[in-house]
Copies of this chain bind each other. A is one copy, B any other.
Amino acid sequence: MGIKKGNVTIYDVAREAGVSMATVSRVVNGNPNVKPATRKKVLDVIQRIGYRPNAVARGLASKKTTTVGVVIPDISNPLYAELARGIEDIATMYHYNIILCNSDLKEAKELQLIETLLEKQVDGLLFLGSEITEEHRKIFQATSVPVVLAASQDDQGELPYVNIDHVAAAKEATNVLIKEGHQKIAYIGTSLTNTVQGLPRFRGYQAALEENGIPFDENLVRIGNGRYSSGYEAMKELLDKDDSISAVFVATDEMAVGAIHAVQDHALNVPDQVSVIGCNNIPIASQVRPLLSTVSVPLYDIGAVAMRLLTKYMNNEEIQTGQVILEYDLELRDSTRLKNSDLA
């Protein structure tokens, strides 16, 4: 029907409707300063000739793309998938789109991704990763694009972030084990060079022991990569060396489930002979038997709140505080003997 697909511009609409481009732009953007009759006329033409606004042109002219960049370690990890969902939901709510990039926690990749995102003129950046290095900081500081960290933080800098108190969470989890009466409590965590999760959770574990006068024993500590098999292997090693271990705090749920299976393969029962508590509360925690006791981290909310915070920055709104710490919960299920009600 003479409709050149993908080539209909605002100019065509203007011509067909007998108005100026400015007027078409106004109706497209919902500007109220248009006479209803004119608006209808324009809308009709738009409908008829199948006009679709070009967001790239709009972005160039208005210097706003309504898209934000998200750098995330690995979307196939349930932990981050949940965070991503929170991010995307709020982004959608505020009419932003998300450019999603996996960094695999590799600094070089992270930096390169940020660079690309900035080239694409994103209105804001959400960064989820481990460490903020000098390199990160340099690039964040040099840009006027607002950046918010999610599930991470930067204590030396003044970057806004949304996170939980990992030290406190780990401490509380360990305390559950201590309250159960255990003295030999192992720890399976992630890399201690990771200052945003690995280290703080380890510190929390140590702090709990110390506060309860339980001597720290480095032989009871194992480091994995956060995934199932590394948790299994770690627990197996631990038990092979010393099967009198009666409790373990595992810093991620996936590893915790692996640890449970290692215990079972050692012909020991969870929680009767070994108590296991995890951290994060990803879906699998409530999809295994015994149900995993864990620290419930509000993953979705962290993503959602971080995105919400970013919209405020992008909108130049007044910000109370850019550093927000969300609450976590203890979710005591069947891999430990204490129950939530016992703590009441």
Contacts and interface: CB of A to CB of B under 8 A. Distances in A.
B283 A5 contact: no
A98 B100 contact: yes
A81 interface: yes
Interface in A264-280: 264
Stoichiometry, copies per complex: 2
A170 to B, nearest CB: 23
Interface in A23-71: 50, 52-57, 59-60, 65, 67
A177 to B, nearest CB: 23
B52 A60 contact: no
Contacts of A82: 76
B55 A57 contact: no
A257 B282 CA distance: 16
Given A57-B60, A76-B84, A287-B254, A120 B67 contact: yes
Interface in A249-272: 254, 257-258, 261, 264
Contact of A5 (B6, B89, B142, B254): B142
A262 to B, nearest CB: 11
Most buried by B among A5, A57, A120: A120
A122 to B, nearest CB: 10
Contacts of A55: 119-121
A110 to B, nearest CB: 13
Nearest to A303: B76
A243 interface: no
B67 A75 contact: no
Nearest to A231: B287
A227 to B, nearest CB: 9
A113 B214 CA distance: 56
A216 interface: no
Given A119-B53, A142-B5, A254-B287, A97 B102 contact: no
A143 B56 contact: no
A102 B85 contact: yes
A165 interface: no
Contact of A88 (B59, B75, B142): B75
Contacts of A283: 228
Of A56, A67, A119, A254, most B-chain CB atoms within 10 Å: A56
Contact of A75 (B50, B84, B228, B288): B84
A260 B143 CA distance: 53
A143 B54 CA distance: 13
A52 B97 contact: no
Contact of A116 (B88, B97, B119): B97
A120 B102 contact: no
A135 interface: no
A100 B100 contact: yes
A284 interface: yes
A316 B102 CA distance: 27
6 contacts: A56-B59, A81-B81, A98-B101, A258-B287, A284-B284, A284-B287
